[in-house]
Chains A and B, each alone.
Chain A
Amino acid sequence: MTTEAFDKKGTVEQEDGLQPQMVTVEIEGKPHRVPAGITLIKALWYSGQEVIRGVGCLGGFCGACATYYRTKDDPKVKTCLACSFAVEDGMSFSFMPAFPARKATYDLAKLTDPKQDLFTLYPEAPLCRNCNACTEACPQSIDVREGVWKAVFGDFKAVSEMFMDCVMCGMCAPVCIADIAPNLVALYASRAQGVHFTDKPEGLDKRIQAIEQGRYQADWARVLNMNDEELQQASAKIL
C-alpha cells in the first residue's frame, strides 16, 4: 500500500475478502443483509453499528464477545464467541450483556485450608442441582457441571486441567439456577491448586540464588565488555 491507509476521520480500510454472496441475519432482533461467511463481529460492523463493548482480543481468548445465537428454524439457543464464529442465513444473535455475578475476594497465600474455604467464599457452590445448563452454555465445550462438582469434592487439580480452556466469558453463570458462577469457582480452585497443592520447582529457586550470588558475573563481564564485532561473533556461534 503506497498511500496513507486511512482518511482524515481515521478510517482504516476494512480487511478485505468479504464474500459477495449475501445472507440475512437478525442482530439484536433486527434483520440485516450481510456477506455470507463473515464472523458475527464483522457482521455487526457491516450492519453499521459502532462497537465499543463486546469486542476484545478478536482471537477467541478474552471472552468479551460472548454471544447467544440460534440458527434458522431451530428452537435451541446456543452460545459462541462472536469473533470466531461465522454467520449463516437465517441466524439470529445477540451479545451477552455484562452479568453481575459475585466474585469472592481472597488472599490465596493466607488461606490455610483452601478446599474447605471454598464453602465460605462460594457457599452456593455445593448447591448445584445438576441441571447441566452451564455445560450446555459453554462455548469452549468444557464439562462445567462436572468441574463444579470436582471443586466441591476438592479435586482442584482436575478443575485446573478442565478449565485451562476457560476464557472467562461467564456464559455459565446466567443459566445457573443455584446462582453459581462456575468460571469464578473454577478460577479460585485453579489458583489454589497452584498456590497450595503444586510442588515448588527446585531448579527455579536454584537459578534465582545463583543470580543473586553473582554466579554469572564473570560471564556478564566478558559479554558486556565485548565490542559489536565480538558480540556478533559470540552470538553467531549459537546454533
Chain B
Amino acid sequence: MDLTALHDIVHKSRDARRLQSIQKNTPAERDTLIKKYHPDHREQAYRPIKFGPNAGDQTVRELASILEGESPIPADLPLIPDYSVDVLVVGGGGAGCAAALHAHAEGANVLLATKLRLVDSNSVMAQGGMQIAVAPDDSPVQHFLDTLKGGHMKNDHALLKVMVEEGPTIAKWLIELGVLFDRDADGNLHVKKGGGSSKERLLTCSDYTGLEIMRVLKDEVLNQKIPLLEFAAALELLSDEHGNCTGAVLQDLDNKRLVIVAAKTVILATGGIGRLHIQGFPTSNHYGATGDGLAMAYRMGSPLVQIDTFQYHPSGGIYPEQLLGALVTEGIRSEGGHLVNGKGERFVNELDTRDVVSSSIIRECEEGRGVQVASGRVGVWLDTPLLDAEHGEGTLDKHFPAMVKQYERFNVDIRKDPVLIYPTLHYQNGGVKIDENSESPVKNLFVAGEASGGLHGRNRLMGNSLLDLMVFGKRAGLTAAARAKSDPQGSLSLAHLKDFRAEAKKHGVTDQITSPMVLPAYTRNP
C-alpha cells in the first residue's frame, strides 16, 4: 500500500476543511451514536459477575474473571509482619506519590510499595494536561458542569465538587514543589481548551505534563526519604475480626518471597486495567495496568461502581506497527487538528467528548470510510501538518516535542504528513467505591486515582485524571495519616479470604484464574 498517495488526499482537502465548521452533537445525537458504535455497548463482551459485592452486575468478561479470581495466598499463611507502618501505599504513580507525600508530611510512618519502579505508571505519560479552573472567566462550578456533562450526568456530585474546588490549591502545591507549568506573558498560568470543556482550563508543561509532575514528585519522595519497596507487588490485603483493613501481603518480584506488612491504613493507588486488553483492544496503558487493586478490594468486600464503562481514547497509533495502541496526544485536536476519513472529509467536531469522538471514528471505519494499513488495521487520519499551516511553522516542534520524537523514531515526520489513528483502551471510568476522603466502604482501606470510581461518571473528561490523582491522593494520605494517629493497629488475618472462597464455592465457581495478575503474560512459550 502506498501511504504517500493516501497522504495526498489529506493534503489536498486541507484548505477546504479549514473553512468548515462542524457542530458538536446534541445530547440525543450523542446517545444514538454511542449506543450504536461505542465498545461499551457491545453486549457480547459483557457478563454478570457471579458472586461478591457486585454479584449480578454486568462488566466486561476480562474484569469479571479477575474479580472472581483465586488469590495466590494460602489461607494458613503465617502472618508475622516484616514491616509495621502507619500507612502502606500500594502503587507508585501520581496518586501513590501524592498520598505518600501528604501522609509523610503529617508525620505518619509510610511505606510505599510498587510492583515496577517508582513512577513507572500511566501518570508519567499524561500529555494533554491537568484541568483546573484558574482562568478569570472560568469557575469551579463551570468545571463541575462540564465534567458532569462529559460523564453523562452519572458522576458522584460530592466527589466531583471536592475535585474541582481543590484543583487550584493542588496547582499551588505543585508549583511550590517546582513543577514548571506553561505560563502567559504576564506570569499567569497558561490554559488550553480540552475536549468536552467549555472553557480554557488545561494546565500544561508542553506535552510532557505528566512527566514533569512525576519527575518532581519522585524526586520529592526520595528527598523525604520515604521508605520504598520497588518490584514488590501486593497480592492480598489483610483484615481484622471486624473486617477492617490491617495490612497487605506483598511479593518481592526479584526473589519471589512474600512480605507481610502490618499497616494501620492501606491506600491502594494501583491504577487501571488496560493490560487486560478488554475486547481485544490495544492499550495506551503501562506494563502493570492489570487491575490488581480492584481484585484485592473486591475480595475484602468493597463494592465497585460503574465498572461497565471504559474509555477508549480516540487517538491510539495504528501505524507504524510499533506505535500500536500508543497514545497520540489529544493536544493536537485541542490546537485545531482535524480528524479526516479516507475520503478526505471531517466527520466529527474534534473537541467533542472522547466517547463521541471514538464512536465516530469506529463508525467511519466500520462503514468503509477508514484507511487500511498493511497489518490489516483500519484507522482515520489525524491531520498534524494542519497545525503548522494554521499557527505557523515550528508550532509542532514547540508545543508537541514529545509527539514529534515519538514518530521521528520510526521515520515519520508529523510536520509533513498526517498520522493514522484508531481508538485505544485508555481508562477505566469506574472503580472501587470511595467517599470524599477516598476511603472505601471497608474501613482503613483507601483507594485513590484510577482504581477508584464514581468521580468521572461514564466518561472521564480530558485532563481530569491528573487532577483526580493529586486531589484524592492527597485526601487519602491526609485521612490515613490522621486515622493512624487515633486508631491502634488491628490484628492480621485472612478471614475475608476464607469467606470469599466459601462464596465462590457456594456459587459453583471453581476454575478461576489466579488474581491479581500482577504483570501481563506476554512472554511467548512456544
Contacts and interface: CB of A to CB of B under 8 A. Distances in A.
A158 to B, nearest CB: 12
A97 B42 CA distance: 44
Contact of A194 (B122, B178, B198, B222): B178
B324 A15 contact: yes
Interface stretch (B49-57, B378-386, B518-526): B518-526
A167 interface: yes
Given A12-B277, A216-B139, A62 B121 contact: yes
B524 A164 contact: no
A14 B513 contact: no
Given A56-B117, A191-B219, A194-B178, A6 B278 contact: no
Contact of B124 (A39, A51, A61): A61
Given A12-B277, A191-B216, A211-B140, A108 B177 contact: yes
B58 to A, nearest CB: 15
A106 B189 contact: no
Interface string A1-21: 111111111111111110100
B172 interface: yes
A168 B211 CA distance: 10
A192 B176 CA distance: 10
Given A6-B65, A204-B134, A195 B121 contact: no
Which label, helix, strand, loop or mixed, suits the secondary structure of the A interface?
Answer: loop
Contact of A57 (B120, B231, B254, B322): B120
Indicate the size class of the contact surface on chain B: 35 or more
Interface of B: 24, 27, 44-45, 61-62, 65, 116-117, 119-122, 124-125, 133-136, 139-142, 144-146, 148-149, 153, 157, 161, 165, 168-169, 171-172, 175-180, 183, 187-189, 198, 205-206, 208, 210-212, 215-216, 218-219, 222-223, 225, 231, 253-254, 275-280, 282, 284-287, 320-327, 375-377, 401-402, 405-406, 409-410, 511-515, 517, 519-526
A166 B121 contact: no
Given A8-B513, A55-B116, A199-B183, A61 B178 contact: no
B180 A193 contact: yes
B513 A55 contact: no
Interface string A130-171: 000000000011000000000000000000100011111000
Contact of A84 (B176, B205, B322): B322
A194 B180 contact: yes
B179 A194 contact: yes
Nearest to B117: A64
Contacts of B122: 57
Interface of A: 1-17, 19, 37-39, 42, 45-53, 55-62, 64, 80, 84-86, 103, 105-109, 140-141, 160, 164-168, 187, 190-195, 198-205, 207-208, 211, 216, 219-220, 223-224, 228, 231-232, 234-236, 238-239
A198 B174 CA distance: 13
Given A15-B325, A164-B205, A194-B175, A61 B409 contact: no
A62 B119 contact: yes
Given A8-B511, A219-B139, A167 B286 contact: no
A220 B524 CA distance: 55
B278 A204 contact: no
B167 to A, nearest CB: 9
B149 A52 contact: no
A168 B215 contact: yes
A216 B210 CA distance: 29
Contacts of A10: 513-515, 517, 521
Contacts of A194: 175, 177-180, 216
A192 B178 contact: yes
Contacts of B254: 52-53
Nearest to B521: A11
A55 B219 CA distance: 20
Given A9-B514, A201-B188, 10 more contacts: A12-B522, A61-B208, A84-B406, A86-B410, A168-B215, A191-B219, A201-B175, A201-B187, A219-B139, A223-B144
A11 to B, nearest CB: 4
Between B153, B276, B286, B511, the greatest number of chain A beta carbons within 10 A of the residue's beta carbon is seen for B286
B328 to A, nearest CB: 11
A238 B402 CA distance: 32
B153 A228 contact: yes
Contact of A198 (B120, B180, B321): B180
Nearest to B286: A57
Given A17-B321, A203-B136, A211-B140, A45 B524 contact: yes
B168 A55 contact: no
A115 B125 CA distance: 30
B409 A9 contact: no
A67 B279 CA distance: 32
A168 B216 CA distance: 11
Nearest to A140: B405
Contacts of B212: 164
A231 B148 contact: yes
State the 4 A-B residue pairs at the shortest beta-carbon distance, nearest first.
Answer: A191-B178, A56-B120, A194-B178, A199-B187
Contacts of B517: 10
B215 A61 contact: no
B225 A236 contact: no
Contacts of A238: 142, 145-146, 149, 198
B141 A55 contact: no
A50 B287 CA distance: 13
Contacts of B524: 14, 45-48
Given A107-B223, A204-B168, A238-B198, A164 B514 contact: no
A201 B325 CA distance: 37
Nearest to B254: A52
Contacts of B177: 108, 191, 194-195
B148 A12 contact: no
B276 A5 contact: yes
A239 B141 CA distance: 15
Contacts of B280: 1, 5, 13
Contacts of A231: 145, 148, 153
A223 B145 contact: yes
Nearest to B138: A207
Contacts of B275: 12
A86 B116 contact: no
15 contacts: A8-B512, A12-B522, A15-B282, A16-B375, A58-B326, A59-B286, A59-B327, A61-B210, A85-B322, A141-B405, A165-B208, A201-B189, A203-B188, A205-B172, A235-B149
Contact of A234 (B145, B206, B405): B145
A165 to B, nearest CB: 6
